[in-house]
Amino acid sequence: MASKIMSAERLEEQANYIDQYISKSKMFNKYENITINGISNSQIVRAINGELKNIHNSVFKSCLGRNKCEECNKTCSLDRAHTVGRLQIAENVLNKIHPDLTKPFNLKEFYIAYVAEHKLYGVWMLCKECHIKLG
């Protein structure tokens, strides 16, 4: 999780990318009729952690058009670094869309909301060294 603060312009750029991705992607359709209820939001997040990582990697695999580290400008393979942790983002989303644990929620709705939530937090493209340095 990177501790840098993302500028409003950079967040807007990322938000536009996310909106385009969500509107064009068919990736979420496989979750269409899957509902979950009856367990806590933190248990749900722990259970789907692997899928959250896969979705995040899929959405941000293009490095948002970046080919240099956003910290040191080094041209190399880049990591995707959250400004807020992936699991915390997922739990924040679940707490919004699934406040009543007795009522089911749709997994497709959750995953779309999870990706959209990244418009608020940001994902940095960093080299390994800067990712480790910034946390």
Question: Nearest CA to 118 among 65, 72, 67, 52?
Answer: 52
pTM: 0.87
Distance from chain centroid for Cα 129? 22
* More confidently predicted of 64 and 40: 40
Q: Are 108 and 93 in contact (CB under 8 A)?
A: no
Q: What is the pLDDT of residue 2?
A: 60
- Structure tokens that stand for 19 in this block: 């909106």
pLDDT digits (tens, 9 = 90+) for 56-93: 889 988 767 788 998 999 999 888 888 888 999 999 99
